């Protein structure tokens, strides 16, 4: 398994009390596919550098996890179709 880091921007339309459940859905997806979430860091609501889907702010979450390399495409496809997630970026750490 390789180590990855992912930043996710959750829509501000998602209620503050529902943000943890959105994060849990992503974490559950990773663990159900044999991955391991090592760290989740909620940065909270921040102003975006530019509007995304007519929003000027979003809830930022940084996650570090271990995952099989072939499964990242499936994870990104799942994040891309989610209406709750405005943007995401997955980066492989190390070699």
pLDDT by residue, tens only, the chain of 95 residues:
899 999 999 999 998 889 999 999 999 999 999 999 999 999 999 999 999 999 999 999 999 999 988 888 999 999 999 999 999 999 999 76
Q: State the maximum Cα–Cα separation within the chain, in Å, rounded to a whole number.
A: 38
- For domain 2-92, give the CATH superfamily: Ribosomal protein S6/Translation elongation factor EF1B (3.30.70.60)
Q: List Cα–Cα distances, 57 to 2, 40, 60, 68, 85, in angstroms.
A: 31, 20, 9, 32, 12
pTM: 0.89
Domain positions in the chain = 2-92
Closest Cα partner for 83 from 12, 26, 11? 11
């Amino acid at each position: 398994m390789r180590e990855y880091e992912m930043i996710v921007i959750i829509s501000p339309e998602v209620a503050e009390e529902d943000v943890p459940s959105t994060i849990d859905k992503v974490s559950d997806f990773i663990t159900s596919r044999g991955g391991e979430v090592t760290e989740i860091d909620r940065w909270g609501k921040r102003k975006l550098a530019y509007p995304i889907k007519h929003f000027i702010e979003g809830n930022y979450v940084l996650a570090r996890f271990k995952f099989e390399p072939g499964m990242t495409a499936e994870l990104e496809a799942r994040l891309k179709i989610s209406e709750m997630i405005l943007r995401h970026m997955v980066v492989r750490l190390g070699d």
